Amino acid sequence: MNSFSAFEQQVSTYEDRVYRIAQSMLKDEAIAQDVTQEVLVKLWEHQDELDPDGLMAWLTCVTRNACIDKLRARQRRHKRVRVDNDGVDRAESPGRTPDHHAETEDLRNHVLNALERVDDPYRRVVALRELQGLKYKEIAETLDMPINTVKVYIHRGRKRLRTQLDHLLDPTLA
Protein backbone atom coordinates (compact mmCIF):
# COMPACT_ATOMS: atom_id res chain seq x y z
CA MET A 1 0.00 0.00 0.00
CA ASN A 2 1.48 3.37 -0.97
CA SER A 3 1.77 6.17 1.56
CA PHE A 4 -1.16 8.12 0.11
CA SER A 5 -3.49 5.10 0.36
CA ALA A 6 -2.32 4.50 3.92
CA PHE A 7 -2.94 8.16 4.71
CA GLU A 8 -6.45 8.00 3.21
CA GLN A 9 -7.17 4.97 5.39
CA GLN A 10 -5.93 6.82 8.48
CA VAL A 11 -8.06 9.85 7.62
CA SER A 12 -11.20 7.77 7.17
CA THR A 13 -10.51 6.00 10.46
CA TYR A 14 -9.61 8.99 12.65
CA GLU A 15 -11.10 12.14 11.10
CA ASP A 16 -14.42 11.95 12.97
CA ARG A 17 -12.69 11.25 16.28
CA VAL A 18 -10.37 14.21 15.86
CA TYR A 19 -13.31 16.45 14.95
CA ARG A 20 -15.33 15.30 17.99
CA ILE A 21 -12.41 16.04 20.32
CA ALA A 22 -11.99 19.51 18.80
CA GLN A 23 -15.72 20.21 18.85
CA SER A 24 -16.02 19.17 22.50
CA MET A 25 -13.18 21.49 23.50
CA LEU A 26 -13.99 24.47 21.28
CA LYS A 27 -17.80 24.39 21.04
CA ASP A 28 -17.51 25.89 17.55
CA GLU A 29 -18.07 23.83 14.39
CA ALA A 30 -16.02 25.99 12.02
CA ILE A 31 -13.00 26.22 14.29
CA ALA A 32 -13.25 22.51 15.08
CA GLN A 33 -13.16 21.81 11.33
CA ASP A 34 -10.09 24.04 11.00
CA VAL A 35 -8.36 22.20 13.84
CA THR A 36 -9.25 18.85 12.27
CA GLN A 37 -7.72 20.01 8.99
CA GLU A 38 -4.56 21.20 10.75
CA VAL A 39 -4.21 17.92 12.64
CA LEU A 40 -4.64 15.89 9.46
CA VAL A 41 -1.97 18.00 7.75
CA LYS A 42 0.36 17.25 10.65
CA LEU A 43 -0.53 13.56 10.34
CA TRP A 44 0.43 13.70 6.66
CA GLU A 45 3.71 15.43 7.47
CA HIS A 46 4.65 12.96 10.22
CA GLN A 47 3.03 9.74 9.01
CA ASP A 48 6.36 7.98 8.37
CA GLU A 49 7.57 8.71 11.92
CA LEU A 50 4.48 7.51 13.79
CA ASP A 51 3.83 4.16 15.43
CA PRO A 52 0.44 2.84 14.25
CA ASP A 53 -0.30 1.49 17.75
CA GLY A 54 0.10 4.93 19.31
CA LEU A 55 -1.52 6.89 16.51
CA MET A 56 -4.76 7.74 18.32
CA ALA A 57 -2.84 8.93 21.37
CA TRP A 58 -0.66 11.11 19.15
CA LEU A 59 -3.69 12.51 17.32
CA THR A 60 -5.43 13.23 20.62
CA CYS A 61 -2.40 15.09 21.94
CA VAL A 62 -1.94 17.11 18.73
CA THR A 63 -5.67 17.92 18.61
CA ARG A 64 -5.72 18.97 22.25
CA ASN A 65 -2.71 21.24 21.76
CA ALA A 66 -4.22 22.81 18.63
CA CYS A 67 -7.47 23.45 20.50
CA ILE A 68 -5.60 25.04 23.40
CA ASP A 69 -3.82 27.31 20.91
CA LYS A 70 -7.17 28.32 19.40
CA LEU A 71 -8.67 28.99 22.83
CA ARG A 72 -5.69 31.11 23.85
CA ALA A 73 -5.93 33.10 20.63
CA ARG A 74 -9.64 33.61 21.22
CA GLN A 75 -8.97 34.88 24.75
CA ARG A 76 -6.38 37.36 23.47
CA ARG A 77 -8.88 38.74 20.97
CA HIS A 78 -11.69 39.29 23.44
CA LYS A 79 -11.76 42.66 25.08
CA ARG A 80 -11.32 42.69 28.80
CA VAL A 81 -14.49 43.17 30.77
CA ARG A 82 -14.38 45.50 33.71
CA VAL A 83 -16.68 45.31 36.68
CA ASP A 84 -18.17 48.63 37.76
CA ASN A 85 -18.58 49.51 41.42
CA ASP A 86 -22.21 48.42 41.22
CA GLY A 87 -21.06 44.91 40.27
CA VAL A 88 -22.43 45.04 36.71
CA ASP A 89 -20.16 43.78 33.95
CA ARG A 90 -19.77 46.30 31.17
CA ALA A 91 -17.72 45.84 28.05
CA GLU A 92 -14.95 48.40 27.71
CA SER A 93 -16.00 49.08 24.13
CA PRO A 94 -19.59 50.40 24.01
CA GLY A 95 -19.37 50.57 20.18
CA ARG A 96 -20.02 46.83 19.90
CA THR A 97 -23.36 46.84 18.16
CA PRO A 98 -24.93 44.27 15.84
CA ASP A 99 -24.00 46.52 12.92
CA HIS A 100 -20.39 46.68 14.09
CA HIS A 101 -20.36 42.90 14.45
CA ALA A 102 -21.79 42.45 10.93
CA GLU A 103 -19.19 44.81 9.47
CA THR A 104 -16.41 42.98 11.27
CA GLU A 105 -17.70 39.62 9.98
CA ASP A 106 -17.96 41.03 6.47
CA LEU A 107 -14.37 42.29 6.61
CA ARG A 108 -13.21 38.94 7.99
CA ASN A 109 -14.90 37.13 5.11
CA HIS A 110 -13.25 39.47 2.58
CA VAL A 111 -9.84 38.82 4.13
CA LEU A 112 -10.36 35.04 4.13
CA ASN A 113 -11.56 35.11 0.51
CA ALA A 114 -8.54 37.17 -0.49
CA LEU A 115 -6.22 34.85 1.43
CA GLU A 116 -7.64 31.85 -0.46
CA ARG A 117 -6.48 33.51 -3.69
CA VAL A 118 -2.87 33.85 -2.48
CA ASP A 119 -0.60 31.06 -3.69
CA ASP A 120 1.19 28.64 -1.40
CA PRO A 121 3.60 28.84 0.39
CA TYR A 122 2.70 32.47 1.02
CA ARG A 123 -0.86 31.62 2.05
CA ARG A 124 0.34 29.10 4.61
CA VAL A 125 2.87 31.36 6.30
CA VAL A 126 0.52 34.36 6.36
CA ALA A 127 -2.28 32.20 7.79
CA LEU A 128 0.00 30.77 10.47
CA ARG A 129 1.24 34.25 11.38
CA GLU A 130 -1.91 36.33 11.10
CA LEU A 131 -4.69 33.84 11.82
CA GLN A 132 -2.94 31.43 14.17
CA GLY A 133 -0.73 34.02 15.83
CA LEU A 134 2.42 31.91 15.54
CA LYS A 135 5.82 33.53 15.92
CA TYR A 136 8.35 33.39 13.09
CA LYS A 137 10.35 30.70 14.87
CA GLU A 138 7.23 28.57 15.40
CA ILE A 139 6.28 28.90 11.74
CA ALA A 140 9.81 27.92 10.71
CA GLU A 141 9.65 24.83 12.92
CA THR A 142 6.12 23.93 11.82
CA LEU A 143 6.92 24.20 8.11
CA ASP A 144 10.51 23.02 8.45
CA MET A 145 12.03 26.03 6.70
CA PRO A 146 14.67 28.60 7.63
CA ILE A 147 13.42 31.55 9.66
CA ASN A 148 14.66 34.04 7.06
CA THR A 149 12.62 32.25 4.40
CA VAL A 150 9.58 32.55 6.67
CA LYS A 151 10.17 36.30 7.02
CA VAL A 152 10.48 36.74 3.26
CA TYR A 153 7.38 34.63 2.58
CA ILE A 154 5.36 36.59 5.14
CA HIS A 155 6.42 39.88 3.57
CA ARG A 156 5.59 38.67 0.06
CA GLY A 157 2.41 36.97 1.24
CA ARG A 158 1.16 40.15 2.90
CA LYS A 159 1.81 42.08 -0.32
CA ARG A 160 -0.11 39.48 -2.33
CA LEU A 161 -2.92 39.50 0.22
CA ARG A 162 -3.09 43.30 0.02
CA THR A 163 -3.33 43.07 -3.78
CA GLN A 164 -6.11 40.46 -3.57
CA LEU A 165 -8.01 42.59 -1.05
CA ASP A 166 -7.74 45.58 -3.34
CA HIS A 167 -9.18 43.49 -6.21
CA LEU A 168 -11.99 42.07 -4.08
CA LEU A 169 -12.98 45.40 -2.55
CA ASP A 170 -12.59 47.42 -5.77
CA PRO A 171 -13.48 45.25 -8.81
CA THR A 172 -12.42 48.02 -11.20
CA LEU A 173 -8.79 47.11 -10.37
CA ALA A 174 -9.18 43.60 -11.79
| Predicted TM-score (pTM) above 0.85 | no
My answer on whether 70 and 125 are in the same domain is: no
Domain that holds residue 161: 107-174
From the list 130, 95, 114, the residue with the least C-alpha distance to 173 is 114
> Is 154 domain-assigned?
yes
Quick one: CA torsion of 43, 161, 72, 151, rounded to 10 degrees?
80
Work out how many domains the chain is built from and give that number.
2
CA dist., res. 124 & res. 31, Å (int): 17
Q: Residue 85: inside a domain, yes or no?
A: no
Per-residue pLDDT of the chain (174 residues; tens, 9 = 90+): 666 777 788 888 889 988 988 888 888 889 999 999 999 899 888 888 888 788 888 888 898 889 888 888 877 766 444 344 444 444 445 556 777 777 777 777 778 888 888 888 898 888 888 877 778 988 888 788 899 999 999 999 999 988 888 877 666 665
